[in-house]
Structure 1
Amino acid sequence: MATFLSLLALVAVAISLATGISLATATGRSRLATLGGAPLRLAAAVATTSVAGSLYFSEVAGFRPCELCWYQRIAMYPLALILLVAVARPGSDVARFALPLSIGGAAVSIYHYQLQLFPDQGSSCEPGASCAFRWVHRFGFISIPLMALAGFTAVTALVVAHARQTTTNLQETTQ
C-alpha cells in the first residue's frame, strides 16, 4: 500500500507540474479553460485521497504521526471538506479558503521533508515520534512528508487553475 500511495504522490507531482506549466502559457491557459469544473473536482479528489492515505498510515499501518504530521493533517483535512463542498455547490469562492490551507500545508511539508533529509538539525518533535524518522522511503526519495507536499502543491495548482477559470468566465459574461 505504501508503494501505491508513493505512486499516487508521483501522479500528484505530475499534475502539479502540468497545471503549473499550463497556467504559465497562453496555450495552456486556454486548454485549462476548456476543462470546466475538472480542476476543482481533481483537487477535491487529491485532498480526499491524501486524507485517506494519512488515515491508512496511522490507523491501519500503525505509523505514529509526529507533530509536523499533525500540522499537515490540520491543513489537509478541512481542505478536503472545503473542496468537496465547493464541488457540490459551484460558484463559491473556494480559492479564498483553500489556498491558505494548501500553501501553509506545503510550507510545513517542505520543512518536514528537509528535516528528514538533514536529520542532524536535532529536531525531534516529541519522544517516540521523531519528525526525522522515515516510516516510508520509496524510490530513494519519497517519504510521507513528500507525499503530503505533492498533494498540497497539486491542490494549490488546481485551485489556482479553477480560480483563473472562474475569473475568466466572469469577465466574459460581463462583457
Structure 2
Amino acid sequence: MSPETVAALFATCLLAGFAGAIAAYAAPATRSRLIAAAPPIAAAVAIAATAGSLYFSEHVGFVPCKLCWYQRIAMYPMAIILPLAVLLRDRLVMRYALALAGIGLAISAYHIQVQWFPERSNSCSFDDPCSAKWVEAFGVFTIPQMAAMAFTLIGLLSVAVIVDQSRRGKQPPTALG
C-alpha cells in the first residue's frame, strides 16, 4: 500500500472514531456503552497510531523529526498500558492515558503550527525538518494532524471514563491505602 493510502485509511478511522464517540456520548441511551468500550477503543487507537508511525518510518523510510519523536514518546507507552489495562480490567489507567494524551496533543499542536508557519520555528534541522509534510490524507491531514486527532480521541475517551468514575463515586486508592 502507498503511504497516501495508509494515511487516508488512518484519517478515515480517526474521523469515524470521533463521529462515533461524539454521537454515542451525546445520546444518553448509548453513553454507558461508549464508556464501557472506551478503554478498548483507546487501546486500539494507541496501537494503530504506533503501528502507523512505525510503518511510515520503518517501511516507507520517512525520517521522524524531533517533534515526531516527542509525540512517539507520548503515544508508545499508551500502546502498552492501555491494552494491559483492558486485559486487567483496570479503568483507573485512563487517568494516566489522559496525561500522556494531553502532553502528546500539546506537542502535536506545536508541530502543526511549525508546518503551517515554518519560518516561526527554531526546532527544525536542515536535514530533518519538522515542517516537512510527508503525506496529506485527503489533501488536508498531515502526520502531526493525525497524531493530534489520535491524542484527542484518547483524551476524550479518558475523560468520559474518568467523569463516569467520579459520578459513581469510585475514587482511586490513595498511596496510603
TM-score range, shorter chain: 0.7 to 0.9
Runs of 4+ in 1 over 4 A off after TM superposition: 20-23, 168-171
Say whether the 8 Å CA contact 2:35–2:157 is kept in structure 1.
no
Deviation at 1:22, TM superposition (A): 5.2
Say whether the 8 Å CA contact 2:124–2:130 is kept in structure 1.
yes
Paired residues in the alignment total 168
Match of 1:53 in 2: 52
Residue type at the aligned position of 1:153? T
1:19-58 equivalences in 2 (<5 Å): 19-20=21-22, 23=25, 25=26, 28-35=27-34, 37-58=36-57
Structure 1 unaligned segments of length 5 or more: list them. Answer: none
Deviation at 1:82, TM superposition (A): 1.2
Match of 1:126 in 2: 125
Q: Distance in 2 between matches of 1:117 and 1:48?
A: 27
Residue type at the aligned position of 1:119? P
CA displacement 1:54-108 (0-9 Å, x = unmatched): 0011101000000000000000000111111110111341122111100110111
Change (3 A) 1:92 1:158: closer
Say whether the 8 Å CA contact 1:102–1:152 is kept in structure 2.
yes
Say whether the 8 Å CA contact 1:71–1:108 is kept in structure 2.
yes
Say whether the 8 Å CA contact 1:39–1:159 is kept in structure 2.
yes
Say whether the 8 Å CA contact 1:32–1:165 is kept in structure 2.
no
Deviation at 1:166, TM superposition (A): 3.5
Say whether the 8 Å CA contact 2:7–2:136 is kept in structure 1.
no
Residue type at the aligned position of 2:157? L
Deviation at 1:18, TM superposition (A): 4.5
Change (3 A) 1:82 1:53: same
Match of 1:101 in 2: 100
CA displacement 1:118-166 (0-9 Å, x = unmatched): 2221435223110001111232211110111111111111122222334
Alignment RMSD: 2.2
Q: Distance in 1 between matches of 2:151 and 2:9?
A: 16
Change (3 A) 1:146 1:7: same
Change (3 A) 1:30 1:118: same
Residue type at the aligned position of 2:14? A
Residue type at the aligned position of 1:57? F
